[in-house]
């Protein structure tokens, strides 16, 4: 009986440890995503993602409200759609749209000296998506 309790306690501790590690990794990712957002997106989409950043004034069409993505998609955050849009993998209604194709340009403000290719961009994109998911209203 005592051995059984010890095994159960050990399994419980392992599960809690893995949950804490996953939570910590997600917190770090969200923090990194907030930094990426501030450097690459906020000028057009606004500090909170509501679509009225200072660089959006002369664009013709205002950038979309990013905090309402979940609300406009029946309570679902369209993570894969946002990923593909950010990378420039989707056709847009307006070929002259001001949205950069980050799959081509990279994150120029995050990496002003270059070095934005490959895994760094992918990790930063995942972090950006994690952050955007947390700001949904």
**pLDDT for the residue 36:** 94
Whats the size of the chain, residue-wise?
137
**pLDDT for the residue 8:** 62
For the chain, the distance separating the N- and C-terminal CA atoms, rounded to the nearest angstrom, is 49
* E strands present in the chain: none
pTM: 0.77
DSSP 93: S
Domain ranges of the chain: 2-134
**Closest of 77, 27, 87 to residue 49, by C-alpha:** 77
Task: Report the distance separating Cα 94 and Cα 81, nearest Å.
Answer: 17
**pLDDT for the residue 61:** 78
Residues of the chain with pLDDT under 70: 1-22, 92-96, 113-120
Task: Report the distance separating Cα 78 and Cα 93, nearest Å.
Answer: 18
Tokens representing residue 129 in the block: 């998506």
């Amino acid at each position: 009986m005592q051995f059984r309790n010890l095994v159960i306690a050990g399994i419980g501790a392992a599960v809690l440890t893995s949950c804490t590690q996953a939570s910590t990794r997600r917190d770090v990712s969200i923090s990194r995503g907030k930094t990426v957002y501030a450097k690459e997106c906020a000028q057009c989409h606004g500090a909170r993602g509501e679509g009225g950043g200072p660089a959006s004034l002369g664009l013709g069409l205002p950038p979309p409200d990013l905090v309402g993505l979940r609300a406009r998609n029946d309570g679902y955050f369209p993570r894969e759609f946002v990923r593909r849009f950010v990378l420039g993998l989707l056709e847009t209604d307006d070929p002259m749209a001001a949205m950069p194709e980050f799959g081509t340009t990279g994150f120029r403000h995050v990496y002003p000296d270059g070095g934005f290719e490959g895994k760094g961009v992918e990790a930063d994109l995942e972090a950006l998506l994690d952050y955007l998911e947390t700001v949904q209203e």
